[in-house]
Amino acid sequence: MSLSIILSNMKPFVNRMSEDNGELTFTLSGVDVSIANSIRRIILSEIPCVVFRTTPYSENKVFIQTNTTRMNNELIKQRMSCIPIYITDTSTPIEQYKVMLDKHNEGDTILHVTTEDFTIIDTNTDTALPQAMVKSMFPQDSLTGDYIDIVRLRPRLTETIEGEHIVLSASFTIGMAKENGSFNVVSTCSYGNTVNADMVNDHLSKYVDGLKIEQLSEDTLEFKKKDWLLLNSEVYSIPDSFDFTIETVGQFDNKVIVLKGVHVMMDKINKFKSTVQTEDIIHTTVSSIEHGFDIKLIGEDYTLGKALEYVLFARHYDRQSTTSDKSLNFCGFRKPHPHIDESIIRLGFVAPTDKNSVIQVLTESCKALEAIYMDIAAFFTE
């Protein structure tokens, strides 16, 4: 079956894109909710970025040599892991850099230690990077002009009690929010169904006409209109259309985050496509489903599973579609338990089918799914 025919009912389109006060909004239409949700899930948890990793202890990259402050080492390390690092290219050779901090309060007032006090050493040359480069990695806040606070150092209290002192070193590594919430790249990533304004206005007019019969006062009428809009307007939505809101933490531009999310999903699809062809992940199902197969998704969950389920449904099950070959009697995704790092796609074929045919079905579905995300990526590529 032609891939172009299969994709005729799944043509993504992005419009109404705008960015204001650091917040990106756009409408993604022509796709199933599983596609929209996969982008949301990845942006919230699987965008790789440069981080300070401090947990677990065996993977700790922040080492505190001296700390006479009121904060214990673990609190300082936790604060370090929350600092966004503005290195947007994750292929940068970050392993050659070491971040150093050495501050001693020798004055008579409280000293605020911030990211401005970092020194970065290139271990290949044993030289410090220019301060301008350090500030590009740890910039000031665009609104306040402040750097990020790390710790406060109290001054000397007596002749014998010195001012507080902090000395630490840290290395960069790559992390993502599903490993540690400190590594998030967005403060907001959400979507909702696109409201059908025409239907809302039509139903609101009918509702208001009914209220006018009751001869209500203008104030009461206006209150009831607002009440109806609050409680009922979002019931009337445009099918397969979603309004997104995304706000970056800072190190990546909003559009870049969406593009990175799409690329992460495409990597998942390509990895699964390769795994299907090279590893034994397809097994005859132990259930009452005839001609059934269970396909294991190792290390994957709803993000990839529900998107694959949708494409398999559209290509091979949907009884209402003229483009479906209707070769499946059953198509479903299942995640047995949140703590089990694998999921299952279960397929039941109409006719007896061998594993090679199942591999072919999955491979073609992956290609169809990949084409959908490529179309979405095109709208965010400048």
Q: What CATH number is associated with residue 139?
A: 2.170.120.12
Q: Using CA atoms, how far apart are residues 48 and 175, in angstroms rounded to an integer?
A: 6
pLDDT at 4 over 60: no
Distance of CA 89 to the CA centre of its chain: 17
Q: Between 254-278 and 302-316, two packed helices, what is the crossing angle to 10 degrees? A: 70
- Residue 192 lies inside a defined structural domain of this protein: no
Same domain (yes/no): 62, 150: yes
Q: What percent of the chain has pLDDT over 90?
A: 85
- Residue 18 lies inside a defined structural domain of this protein: no
pTM more than 0.85? yes
pLDDT confidence bin for 212, thresholds 50/70/90? confident
Same domain (yes/no): 99, 175: yes
CA distances from 214 to 201, 209, 220, 221 (A): 20, 9, 11, 10
Q: Quick check: 119 and 99 in contact, CB under 8 A?
A: yes
Q: Using CA atoms, how far apart are residues 145 and 194, in angstroms rounded to an integer?
A: 37
| Structure confidence at residue 3 (pLDDT) | 47
pLDDT digits (tens, 9 = 90+) for 281-322: 999 998 899 999 999 999 999 999 999 999 999 999 999 988
Count CA within 13 A, CB hemisphere, residue 58: 0
Q: Using CA atoms, how far apart are residues 72 and 68, in angstroms rounded to an integer?
A: 9
Domain span holding position 259: 3-10+252-378
Q: What is the total count of domains within the chain?
A: 3
Mean pLDDT of 199-208: 92
Same domain (yes/no): 256, 335: yes
Same domain (yes/no): 118, 55: yes
Same domain (yes/no): 140, 212: no
Same domain (yes/no): 54, 179: yes
The CA angle 119-123-127, to the nearest 5 degrees, is: 55
Same domain (yes/no): 328, 262: yes
Q: Using CA atoms, how far apart are residues 164 and 68, in angstroms rounded to an integer?
A: 5
Same domain (yes/no): 55, 155: yes
- Residue 43 lies inside a defined structural domain of this protein: no
Same domain (yes/no): 122, 80: yes
| Structure confidence at residue 9 (pLDDT) | 59
Same domain (yes/no): 85, 107: yes
CA distances from 161 to 1, 25, 103, 110 (A): 81, 55, 16, 15
Same domain (yes/no): 62, 177: yes
Mean pLDDT of 38-45: 98
Same domain (yes/no): 123, 65: yes
